Amino acid sequence: MRMSSALLPRAFARVGRERKFTVLDLGSPTPQSVRFFNQFSCQVYFSGLLDDDEDLGTGLDIPSDVRFDVCLFWDVLNYLNGETLERVSEVVTKRLNDGCRGHAFLAFSQSVPFEGLSFGIESVDSLVVKRDPNVVPHVHTWKDLEATLWPFTNAAATLLQGNRQELLLVNHSQ
């Protein structure tokens, strides 16, 4: 299925075709995402965090000199337990450029069911979405993450169906 995104275009607003930029995608590469990123002069690190059940976080073996301009968290954060979430946070927060933008889907409420999804980018405002019944949520709201884990502030949010909110995040460690 397809889904439009109101905030993803704003995550890419500071980068463009005229300069090289670096992206962290916490998901797995999809054909749509690869085609999308091939339009740009960019370097993309796909982590596939949910692909390896044995050791979540092994997809974040990123060289220490890499700095991200855009971080695509999708809704992966909702499937990480506290320990893994802290490990991911430690790796990511050390590698942010000033003005880095993030994009995420988080639960709006921990008391409402949350369905597993995976995402790919078809265009800057259109996503390909698949249901993923194999993932088990450790549902986190923005309030859960903001206070303890991330150097991002929530710049904008939209409420979506299915207990999701779409967030535009900006690096506030500048």
**Average pLDDT for 161-169:** 91
The whole-model pTM stands at 0.91
Categorize the per-residue pLDDT at 169 as very low, low, confident or very high, splitting at 50, 70 and 90: very high
- 120 confidence band (pLDDT: 50, 70, 90): very high
CA distance 137 to 79: 4
**Tally of structural domains, the chain:** 1
Nearest in space to 20 (alpha carbons), one of 43, 51, 46, 54:
43
Strand partners, 157: 167
* pLDDT tens-digit map of 41-68: 999 999 888 776 545 555 688 898 999 9
pLDDT score of 101 more than 90: yes
Tokens read off for 62:
């990123």
Mean pLDDT, range 34-40, rounded to an integer? 94
Domain that holds residue 21: 2-171
CATH number at residue 134: 3.40.50.150
**Torsion angle of alpha carbons 33, 34, 38, 41, nearest 10°?**
80
Looking at the predicted structure, is the pLDDT value of residue 173 above 80? no
* Residues above pLDDT 90, as percent of the chain: 45
> Can you give the pLDDT at residue 46?
93
Rounded (5°) CA angle 52-54-57: 60
85 has pLDDT over 90: no
